[in-house]
Every structure is written in structure tokens, then in C-alpha cells.
Amino acid sequence: MDLSDIPPSDYKTYTSTQDFFSIHVPCTFQIRDIEWLSEYENKLPGRVYSCNRGQEHYEMTVINYTDILKIHAERTHTDAADQGPTNAYARIDLHASIDYAATKIRQEAYAANAKIGFDAWHYIDLIPGHQVQYVKPNGERTFTGIYLHEYRLYIMKATVPGNYPPPGLFQQSLSVLRPDGGRIRYQTIYRHPW
């Protein structure tokens, strides 16, 4: 590896007060609103924060599940589909969101003829999640992390050329924040309140 090809470290902390996270990133995020189609085809609002530094690409997608019960109920209009007052399918859609996002990342890797090198459960500050890493035939490497806290699904993604070091600072720096901006760190594994 020729280290002269690798840009110097210029990571800065980016904080989102709308989506309650902070992360170290070496470029300036551009933000766009998206609509995320969940596993059970609920249309959810989200934001993609993305930027490039040379050949490197960094991305944080945040999907807001806050209104999942209402969104699902408006779409289905039947007690049978909602499983009565508990709205079971909407709850399953939220709880399975990490696995669904990981499946989408695997499908992306397979479509690019990439080789998955890591695919396992993970956590940050005892907030459970999942990581998937893959390598494309040209050597380009993609590192992803998916975490669910409260009603927000956080999907981190960084892609670097094959001769670059892994984007470790980006991967390890995610902090989920309280509304007052303080970092959340649990003493035991976080479980969604449902």
C-alpha cells in the first residue's frame, strides 16, 4: 500500500439534533430526505447524510419509525391485518428492521459480485445491531453497521478503495444522543420498550 495516496486524517464530529446522533466523518455531509419502504411495505420518512473524500464515500441513513403504528393502521384498514389492537405487524416491522436492513445490504453485495467477509451481531454503547462488510472484485471495501434505538434505525456505510485502511474512526464513533444532546451509554443491553 502506498500511504502517500491516502488523504490525511481530517475527521470532525458531526451532530444531528433532528436524528439524535453524532459521528466522526472526514467530509461535509449533504442531507436529503427519503422515503423508506419497510419489510411490510410501510412508507417511512428518513434522511441520508452522505459525503465523499476523494475515492472514499461515507453515509449515515436514519429511518424514523416513530409513527409506525399509525402508518401501518392507515395503510391496512383492517383488524385482521393489524392483528387487533396490538398492531402486531407494525411492531414486528420495527423489531425486524435491523435484520431487514442487513438483508438489503447483503443483496447489494451479491448484486455487485462482492464477497462478504464479516456478517455478525454487534453493538455500540450496548445498543444492539449488526455489521456487514464486503469486498467487490475491484478490491473496493464496504463497511456497514445497523443499530436500532427508540424508533430510529441507524444505517452506517463507508466505502474505501482496496489499498486504503478501514474507516475505523467512522465505524466506531457513532453515538446515539438524548434530546438534550448528551450521549446515551447503557449499563446493560438495550431493549426496545415494546
Task: Look at residue 79 and tell me whether its pLDDT is greater than 90.
Answer: no
At 192, is the pLDDT very low, low, confident or very high (cuts 50, 70, 90)? confident
| Edge-to-edge order in the sheet of strand 21-25 | 12-16, 21-25, 175-176
Task: Look at residue 145 and tell me whether its pLDDT is greater than 50.
Answer: yes
Nearest by Cα to 174 from 57, 52, 60 = 60
Q: What is the DSSP letter of 177?
A: B
For residue 161, give the 3-state DSSP assignment: coil
Task: Look at residue 2 and tell me whether its pLDDT is greater than 50.
Answer: no
Fold of the CATH domain 26-176: Protein Transport Mog1p; Chain A (3.40.1000)
What percentage of the chain carries pLDDT values higher than 70?
89
Task: Look at residue 76 and tell me whether its pLDDT is greater than 80.
Answer: no
At 18, is the pLDDT very low, low, confident or very high (cuts 50, 70, 90)? very high
Task: Give residue 127's pLDDT.
Answer: 97
Task: Give residue 1's pLDDT.
Answer: 43
Give the domain ranges of the chain: 26-176
| pTM of the complete model | 0.91
Average pLDDT over residues 104-113: 98
C-alpha to C-alpha distance for 178 and 172, rounded to whole angstroms: 19
